[in-house]
Amino acid sequence: MSMSVGEGDTEDQPMSDINTTPLVDVMLVMLIIFLITIPAIVQKVPLELPKVRFDPTTTKPENVSLSIKASSTGACEVYWGQTRVDSSELLDRAVKKLKDEIERQGGVNAPGLELPEAHIRGDINTPWRCIAGPIYNFQMAGFTKVGFISEPPPNGA
């Protein structure tokens, strides 16, 4: 950056104006970059979502059925079938169930291996923390499909 020393009768005072040309150049380049990149970021993917209200669940004997609710004290109650289980027992049972099912079907490399699913029925007033814990346990055990079971509205309403 340079400074002009002035001319004529103002020779004694230096000119103190800032050269704004580089600033304007940088701002114009940034404006062009933002104008090019914003449409790429805000792009929407055209989707047609299914028009069904619910899909019927195919219940297989190897699938695990969990029922989850909160007790009156606020504690989480998890039931494997009809048996109440705690978090560590849930993980142990899930690992054993998956291991037994893989062995029953002929091992990990068996053709057409179908892993069991976990179906969760959660009470409507159950806090999310009570549902998230069992989901995490099933993921840690190796289950690839964890789904929620809901009740359709009466009379198709």
Q: Classify residue 75 by its DSSP letter.
A: -
- Domain 64-156 is of which CATH architecture? 2-Layer Sandwich (3.30)
Is 70 exceeded by the pLDDT of residue 15? yes
Sheet holding 83-85, edge to edge: 83-85, 76-80, 64-70, 118-122, 146-148
Q: What would the pLDDT profile of 104-154 be if each residue is shown by its tens digit?
A: 988 888 888 888 899 888 888 888 899 999 999 999 999 988 888 776 666
Q: Which residue has the tokens 């007790």?
A: 71
Q: What would the pLDDT profile of 64-118 be if each residue is shown by its tens digit?
A: 888 898 888 888 989 998 889 999 999 999 999 999 999 998 888 888 888 889 9
Return the beta strands (E) in 1-154 as ranges.
64-70, 76-80, 83-85, 118-122, 146-148
The residue ranges of every structural domain in the chain are: 11-41, 64-156
